[in-house]
Amino acid sequence: MRWQELDQQPCSLARTLAVVGDRWTLLVLRDAFLGVRRFEEFQSRLGVTRHVLSDRLGKLVAHSVLEKRVYQERPRRQEYRLTERGRELHPVILHLVQWGDRHLADERGAPLFHRHRQCGHRLQARLTCADCGENVEARDVDVEVNPAFADVLS
Amino acid sequence: MRWQELDQQPCSLARTLAVVGDRWTLLVLRDAFLGVRRFEEFQSRLGVTRHVLSDRLGKLVAHSVLEKRVYQERPRRQEYRLTERGRELHPVILHLVQWGDRHLADERGAPLFHRHRQCGHRLQARLTCADCGENVEARDVDVEVNPAFADVLS
DNA sequence: TTATGTAGGTTCTTTTTTGGAACCTTTAGG
DNA sequence: CCTAAAGGTTCCAAAAAAGAACCTACATAA
């Protein structure tokens, strides 16, 4: 299966990964969440080639994860800003970062500290159920096949 | 920057992506969360080439995300099971799936339904703060550079 | 007027990584 | 002896990424 075919799959993870699941895209998004907006700044912070960056930013805009906004005419300058849809990816980034902080940090600890503004504590992210508010572990989730997909999913 | 250099970066996201951030690894993990354990089953469900699957499973084992367990001698057969460290990636998968369900589904809706066993509702994942229990949005998080990394991080 | 700088890309060539298919090993069963 | 299943490995061609140079439009300054 090719990358391009992934978005055809009857699997939301595959489709999402077709948008954000490549080598650089999540790093671009992370910088976007840290406030980076300009091509040059993404490029110098990430060390990605301009070619690949241009391609990734274009794809994120095409999928409405980022939007391109003109912030100056003459000379025309544009910046990339997260859309609401893009901000919904924040939990993904935060959990990935937290996993790295826990399991891959050296003796200096996490490179960045995340603090929850409302309560002031170092942020420990938890996945909870929006209905009952309880913590959700992998074993607490039952998965059922949507009957409309019963034919293609085992 | 190459894939191999990513894990040298002073960024937990980059380090985490060096482990799980490639084209196939998250799909392997998703199937692992759905109960898949054997090489052949991963291979036939994902359509990934055996070569790449072998490499990815090996990396996940090397990073203790999966463990290889012999479930039968004569002939020797092994299976791959999630470790505790691997299960901690569940929130990542769930949020990615949920994003795809919301934004990339067709008229049939989500391919899979996730139900919270304890309360019985369709699971809507939320990221909350473990200390205060409140919902956390991107704008609620303050980021500070760990002083130990002050020299390398802008 | 020419030179220098900046934002935002595009083009070109060389490496790396994938995809695809075939092949290998161990053991069981007929 | 032949076939089948599980779990891989090897080989080659195709696709994607890296690295560097180049391009455009405008501004400023000499």
Q: Pick A7 or A154 by higher pLDDT.
A: A7
pLDDT tens digits, A4-29? 667 777 889 999 999 998 878 999 99
CA–CA dist B117, B56 (Å, integer): 31
What is the reported pLDDT for A47?
A: 85
Cα A111 to its chain centre, rounded Å, is 19
Chain B, residues 14-53, CB within 8 A of chain A, namely: 14-17, 19-23, 26-27, 30, 33-34, 45-48
The average pLDDT across A32-52 equals 91
Cα–Cα separations (whole angstroms), residue A43 to A28, A87, B8? 9, 21, 18
Kindly give the pairing relationship between strand A125-129 and strand B125-129.
Answer: antiparallel
What is the reported pLDDT for B5?
A: 67
What is the reported pLDDT for A76?
A: 80
CA–CA dist A153, A147 (Å, integer): 9
Give helix B25-33 / helix B39-46 axis angle, nearest 10°.
110
∠ CA A37-A26-B138 to the nearest 5 degrees? 65
Size of interface A-B (CB pairs under 8 A): 284
DSSP 8-state symbol, B10: S
Q: Which residues in chain B come in under a pLDDT of 70?
A: 1-5, 154
Q: What percent of chain A has pLDDT over 70?
A: 96
What is the reported pLDDT for B1?
A: 59
pLDDT tens digits, B31-65? 999 999 999 999 989 989 999 999 999 999 999 99
Q: Is the confidence at residue A74, as pLDDT, over 80?
A: no
Q: For A16, which of B21, B96, B113 is closest by C-beta distance?
A: B96
What is the reported pLDDT for A70?
A: 85
Residues with Cβ < 8 Å from B150, sequence gap 6 or more? Answer: none
| 8 Å CB contact between A57 and A42 | yes
Collapsing DSSP to helix, strand or coil, A2 comes out as coil
Residue A154: pLDDT band with limits 50, 70, 90: low
A81 touches chain B (CB under 8 A): no
Residue ranges with strand state E in chain B: 66-72, 77-82, 112-116, 125-129, 141-145
Q: Which of A8, A108, A112 to mutate to test the interface with B (most CBs of B within 10 A)?
A: A112
> What's the pTM?
0.94
What is the reported pLDDT for A31?
A: 93
